[in-house]
Structure 1
């Protein structure tokens, strides 16, 4: 049984959704060692593994979630950035700490069920985007999304070098705020969902596409 450590740092710094990529770039620019975990590329090639440092907007403010090795890497930022200031686009912004949450979570299946919410989930790739749009029955649409969600969870576990041997069950209980967005000029379908599952997952971890810039944030609902 393996526990995954996570660290979510919330700053008292307002951040718009569109500013998350700028926030990510500002943090990367503040790291002199160019640690690959902060940006997932080494200048010539991409690190295609699950991002262990994720830049987010939580409660309308800037936040970073670190997973596994990313927790240790984050110490470098705080060791060299003692005044907690970054350059966000053309502005200099302070990063006063608001809250720090450390967790250790066993990502595994249990006999009980957990209630979760995912904000700004991007479940659809080019192939299943067309299938989803051509499906008019709401039950069939939910079935498509549930299969994708199980796949996302398995990809997350694989990215964290964890093997889930038990069967993951998910049941989507609510879908809201479905909207079309563009990210890097690519049209995407974004949505918020609530679901129940037999697997335990850490708070604020990302799932699905573009998790490094704040999409697909999971939070556990209070049962």
Structure 2
């Protein structure tokens, strides 16, 4: 069976001045700039689209990035990257915009090491209650199995968003994890629970690609690497 080849494009926006930039600020600024393109902001009118985002926003080591996959990459290729944005009520100019174009060849069979580079927001309201119950009774193995199941579900959602069929049975083994509170937006008073986690998985992630809740805002960036 032929491996599908999926376009991948990344804008790397290099600010003229260093600053404390946030992925949700970048998403808001660019989503507003390209409001006519729903793929850029996951909204159709006032309705939020509950599907895996094909354009995602990151700030990695202070560098703002816009990452597109499949239709998202094709759209980024057709648009002109901004040279200036209003982020958190401050005008930010970019001295250079780098375009990184690649192809992504998905692999759902070969074991790889994985690590989350940004907190993974794995839990919804239902499984958050289950997680708290397991933690209260120190059921660490139950927590591991739950997180592994959620991670596989995230990858299935990713594949569905790209129109991919997975013939092999996905396997995930989370060897270590740590929960930490995450504030998704500065304006939000509540905190979400994020996880740093690593282990083995039969999956190859695209560069700087996020999984789980609020992945378009920089959360859940997974790094995968072949073993051996």
**TM-score normalised by structure 1 residue count:** 0.86
How many equivalent pairs are there? 216
* Structure 1: gaps spanning 5 or more residues: none
**Which residue of 2 is the match for residue 113 of structure 1?**
111
Deviations 1:180-222 (A, max 9, x none): 2343455421011112112222121111111111111112247
**8 A contact 2:119–2:219 mirrored in 1:** yes
After superposition, give the CA deviation of every residue in 1:34-61 in whole Å (9 maximum; x if it has no partner): 2111111132323322211111111222
1:190 counterpart (187, 191, 194): 194
* 1:159-190 residue CA offsets vs partner (Å, 9 max, x unmatched): 111111210011112223x2123434554210
Does the C-alpha gap of structure 1 residues 127 and 71 become closer, same or farther in structure 2, counting only changes over 3 Å? same
Q: How does 1:8-47 map to 2 (within 5 A)?
A: 8-13=10-15, 14=18, 16=20, 19-31=22-34, 34-47=36-49
Contact 1:15 1:61 in 2 (8 A): no
Moved over 4 A (4+): none
- TM-score between the two structures when normalised by the length of structure 2: 0.84
CA distance in 2, matches of 1:211, 1:193: 15
Counterpart of 2:210 in structure 1 is 206
Describe the shift of the 1:116–1:16 C-alpha distance in structure 2 as closer, same or farther (beyond 3 A): farther
Distance change in 2, residues 1:75/1:104 (3 Å): closer
Residue pairs, 1:31-180, within 5 angstroms: 31=34, 34-78=36-80, 81=82, 84-97=83-96, 99-110=98-109, 112-118=110-116, 119-135=118-134, 136-176=138-178, 178-180=179-181
SS class of match (1:153): helix
What's the C-alpha RMSD, in Å, of the aligned pairs?
2.2
Are the counterparts in 2 of residues 7 and 100 from structure 1 also a CA contact under 8 Å?
yes
Higher strand share: 1
Correspondence 1:217 to 2:216: no
Task: For residue 99 of structure 1, report the CA deviation from its aligned partner.
Answer: 4.8
For 1:62 and 1:3, locate their aligned partners in 2 and report how far apart those are by CA, in whole Å.
26
